[in-house]
Structure 1
Amino acid sequence: MFVAKLLDPFQLKHLTLRNRIVSTSHAPNYVEDGHPRDRYRLYHEEKAKGGVAMTMIGGSTNIAPDSPSVFGQLYAGDDSIIPWFRKLTDGVHGHGAAVMCQITHMGRRTAWDDGHWLPVLGPSGVRERAHRAFPKVMEQEDIDRVIGDFSAAARRCQEGGFDGIELLSHSHLLGQFLSPLTNQRDDSYGGTLENRMRLTLQVLDAVRAEVGPDFLLSMRITGDELTSGGLSAADCAAAARMLEDSGHVDLLNILAGAPYDDLGLAEWVRPMGLPAAPHLTVAGRIREAVSLPILHAGGIADIATASHAVSGGYVDLVGMTRAQMADPHLVAKLARGEEERIRPCVGLGYCVDRVNQGKPAVCGHNAATGREQVLPHVIRASGTRKKVVIVGGGPGGLEAARVSALRGHDVVLFEASDRLGGQLVLAAKGTTRRQVWGVADWLISEVSALGVDLRLNTYAEAEDVLAEAPDLVVIATGGWPGPLAIPGGELAHSSWEVLSGEVRVSGKVLLFDEIGDHPAAVTADALAEDGRGVELVSPDRTLLHDLGPTTSAAALRGLAAKGTGFTCLHELHSLAREENRIRARLRHVLTGEISERLVDHVVVEHGLVPMDDLYHCLKPLSHNLGQLDHNALIHGEAPFKNLQADGQFHLARIGDAVAGRNVHAAILDAMRLCVRV
Structure 2
Amino acid sequence: MTDYPNLFSPMRIGPKTAKNRIWMTAHSTQLVKDHNFSDAHVHYYAERAKGGVGVITMEAMAVHPTTQPYKGKIFAFDKAVVPNYRKLAAAVREYDCLLLAQPWHRGRETSGQVNRLPVWAPSSVPCAVYREMPHVLTAEEIDELVQGYVLAARYAVEGDLDGVEVHGLAHGYLLGQFLSPATNHRDDEYGGDFDRRLSLVLEIIEKTRAETGRDKIVGVRINGNDGDVPGGLTNEDWTRIARAIADTGLVDYISVTQGTYLERMNIYGATPKPAGFQVEDTARIKAAVPELPIVVAGRMNTPELAEQVLASGGADLIGMARTLIADPEWPNKARDGKANSIRPCVGANWCLASIVNSPLACVHNPAVAREAELGVGTLLPVSVAKRVAVVGGGPAGLRTALTAAQRGHHVTLFEQESELGGQVRLIGRSETYAEWQGITDWLVSQLGETSVDVKLGHRVEAAELLSGYDEVVVATGSTPLKHGWSSLRPASWGDGTIVPGVDQWNVHSIKEVLEGRAEIGPRVMIFDDTGARQPLVAAEYLADRRHAVTLVTRLPQVSPDLEASRDLQSTYRRARNKGIRFITDHELAEVVEDTVVLRDVWTGELVPHEDVDAVVLSTGNRADDALFHALKGSVPVRAVGDCVSPRRVFNAIWEGELAGRDI
TM-score normalised by the chain length of structure 2: 0.93
What is the Cα deviation at residue 549 of structure 1?
A: 4.9
Runs of 4+ displaced beyond 6 Å? none
The aligned counterpart of 1:513 is 528
What is the Cα deviation at residue 276 of structure 1?
A: 1.8
Q: Which of 570, 574, 583 is the matching residue for 1:558?
A: 574
What is the Cα deviation at residue 77 of structure 1?
A: 2.8
The aligned counterpart of 1:104 is 104
Does the 8 Å CA contact 1:429/1:522 hold for their aligned counterparts?
no
- Distance in 2, Cα, partners of 1:590 & 1:32: 43
- Distance in 2, Cα, partners of 1:101 & 1:567: 46
Alignment deviations for residues 519-546 of structure 1 (CA, whole Å, 9 cap, x no partner): 1111111111111111111111211122
Does the 8 Å CA contact 1:411/1:452 hold for their aligned counterparts?
yes
Q: Is 1:367 paired with 2:382?
A: no
What is the Cα deviation at residue 83 of structure 1?
A: 2.1
**Secondary structure in structure 1 of the residue aligned to 2:393:** coil
Mark the runs of 5 or more structure 2 residues left unpaired by the alignment: 484-497
Alignment deviations for residues 604-657 of structure 1 (CA, whole Å, 9 cap, x no partner): 0111111112111111213xxxxxxxxxxxxxxxxxxxxxxxxxxx21111101
What is the Cα deviation at residue 564 of structure 1?
A: 0.7
- 1:424-443 correspondence to structure 2 within 5 Å: 424-443=424-443
* Residue type of the alignment partner of 1:22: W
Does the 8 Å CA contact 1:256/1:279 hold for their aligned counterparts?
yes
- Distance in 1, Cα, partners of 2:280 & 2:114: 38
What is the Cα deviation at residue 358 of structure 1?
A: 4.4
* Residue type of the alignment partner of 2:651: A
The aligned counterpart of 1:489 is 502
* Residue type of the alignment partner of 1:603: V
- 1:223-622 correspondence to structure 2 within 5 Å: 223-227=224-228, 228-257=230-259, 259-261=260-262, 264-290=263-289, 291-355=291-355, 357-378=356-377, 379-467=379-467, 469-484=468-483, 485-491=498-504, 492-547=507-562, 548-577=564-593, 581=594, 583-598=595-610, 599-622=612-635
Q: Is 1:218 paired with 2:234?
A: no
- 1:653-672 correspondence to structure 2 within 5 Å: 653-672=639-658
- Distance in 1, Cα, partners of 2:312 & 2:443: 32
- Distance in 1, Cα, partners of 2:641 & 2:582: 31
**Secondary structure in structure 2 of the residue aligned to 1:197:** helix
Q: Is 1:48 paired with 2:61?
A: no
Alignment deviations for residues 545-601 of structure 1 (CA, whole Å, 9 cap, x no partner): 222253323322221111111011111122223xxx2x2222222332322222222
- Distance in 2, Cα, partners of 1:32 & 1:538: 39
Does the 8 Å CA contact 1:65/1:77 hold for their aligned counterparts?
no
- Distance in 2, Cα, partners of 1:479 & 1:564: 28
* Residue type of the alignment partner of 2:516: G
- Distance in 1, Cα, partners of 2:478 & 2:97: 44
Does the 8 Å CA contact 1:177/1:183 hold for their aligned counterparts?
yes
The aligned counterpart of 1:628 is none
What is the Cα deviation at residue 71 of structure 1?
A: 7.6
Does the 8 Å CA contact 1:27/1:71 hold for their aligned counterparts?
no
What is the Cα deviation at residue 134 of structure 1?
A: 1.7
The aligned counterpart of 1:187 is 188
* Residue type of the alignment partner of 2:278: H
- Distance in 2, Cα, partners of 1:243 & 1:364: 38
Does the 8 Å CA contact 1:2/1:308 hold for their aligned counterparts?
no
What is the Cα deviation at residue 300 of structure 1?
A: 1.0
* Residue type of the alignment partner of 2:601: V
- Distance in 2, Cα, partners of 1:552 & 1:69: 19
Does the 8 Å CA contact 1:126/1:134 hold for their aligned counterparts?
yes
**Secondary structure in structure 1 of the residue aligned to 2:6:** helix
Does the 8 Å CA contact 1:266/1:549 hold for their aligned counterparts?
no
Alignment deviations for residues 309-339 of structure 1 (CA, whole Å, 9 cap, x no partner): 2122111110121111110011111222111
- Distance in 1, Cα, partners of 2:188 & 2:67: 24
Does the 8 Å CA contact 1:6/1:19 hold for their aligned counterparts?
yes
Alignment deviations for residues 365-415 of structure 1 (CA, whole Å, 9 cap, x no partner): 111111213213343422432211100111111111111111011111011
- Distance in 2, Cα, partners of 1:310 & 1:72: 36
* Residue type of the alignment partner of 1:558: R
Q: Kindly tell me: are residues 102 and 49 of structure 1, through their superposed partners in 2, closer, same or farther at Cα, counting changes over 3 Å?
A: same
What is the Cα deviation at residue 86 of structure 1?
A: 2.0
* Residue type of the alignment partner of 1:617: A
Does the 8 Å CA contact 2:71/2:114 hold for their aligned counterparts?
no
* Residue type of the alignment partner of 1:187: D
The aligned counterpart of 1:631 is none
Q: Is 1:3 paired with 2:4?
A: yes
- Distance in 2, Cα, partners of 1:551 & 1:545: 10
What is the Cα deviation at residue 2 of structure 1?
A: 5.6
The aligned counterpart of 1:142 is 141
* Residue type of the alignment partner of 2:647: R
The aligned counterpart of 2:637 is 651
Greater displacement, 593-602 / 335-344: 593-602
- Distance in 2, Cα, partners of 1:375 & 1:100: 26
- Distance in 2, Cα, partners of 1:398 & 1:190: 57
**Secondary structure in structure 2 of the residue aligned to 1:615:** helix
- Distance in 2, Cα, partners of 1:377 & 1:610: 33
What is the Cα deviation at residue 487 of structure 1?
A: 2.3
Does the 8 Å CA contact 2:264/2:566 hold for their aligned counterparts?
yes
* Residue type of the alignment partner of 2:518: V
Q: Kindly tell me: are residues 360 and 132 of structure 1, through their superposed partners in 2, closer, same or farther at Cα, counting changes over 3 Å?
A: farther
- Distance in 1, Cα, partners of 2:322 & 2:251: 26
Does the 8 Å CA contact 2:3/2:335 hold for their aligned counterparts?
no
How many percent of aligned residue pairs carry the same amino acid? Answer: 35
Does the 8 Å CA contact 1:58/1:73 hold for their aligned counterparts?
no
What is the Cα deviation at residue 41 of structure 1?
A: 2.0
**Secondary structure in structure 2 of the residue aligned to 1:44:** helix
**Secondary structure in structure 1 of the residue aligned to 2:503:** helix
* Residue type of the alignment partner of 1:477: T
Alignment deviations for residues 91-127 of structure 1 (CA, whole Å, 9 cap, x no partner): 1222321111111121111112321x22111111111
Does the 8 Å CA contact 1:375/1:672 hold for their aligned counterparts?
no
Alignment deviations for residues 464-501 of structure 1 (CA, whole Å, 9 cap, x no partner): 2234x222211011011123132222132111111111
Q: Kindly tell me: are residues 73 and 2 of structure 1, through their superposed partners in 2, closer, same or farther at Cα, counting changes over 3 Å?
A: farther
Does the 8 Å CA contact 2:349/2:565 hold for their aligned counterparts?
no
The aligned counterpart of 1:675 is 661
What is the Cα deviation at residue 458 of structure 1?
A: 0.5
Aligned length: 639
What is the Cα deviation at residue 246 of structure 1?
A: 1.4
* Residue type of the alignment partner of 1:166: E
TM-score normalised by the chain length of structure 1: 0.92
Greater displacement, 120-129 / 410-419: 120-129
Does the 8 Å CA contact 1:42/1:373 hold for their aligned counterparts?
yes
- 1:83-232 correspondence to structure 2 within 5 Å: 83-115=83-115, 117-168=116-167, 169-170=169-170, 171-227=172-228, 228-232=230-234
- Distance in 2, Cα, partners of 1:193 & 1:382: 65
* Residue type of the alignment partner of 2:147: G
Greater displacement, 430-439 / 232-241: 232-241
- Distance in 2, Cα, partners of 1:436 & 1:71: 32
* CA-atom RMSD in angstroms: 1.6
**Secondary structure in structure 1 of the residue aligned to 2:638:** strand
Does the 8 Å CA contact 2:402/2:660 hold for their aligned counterparts?
no
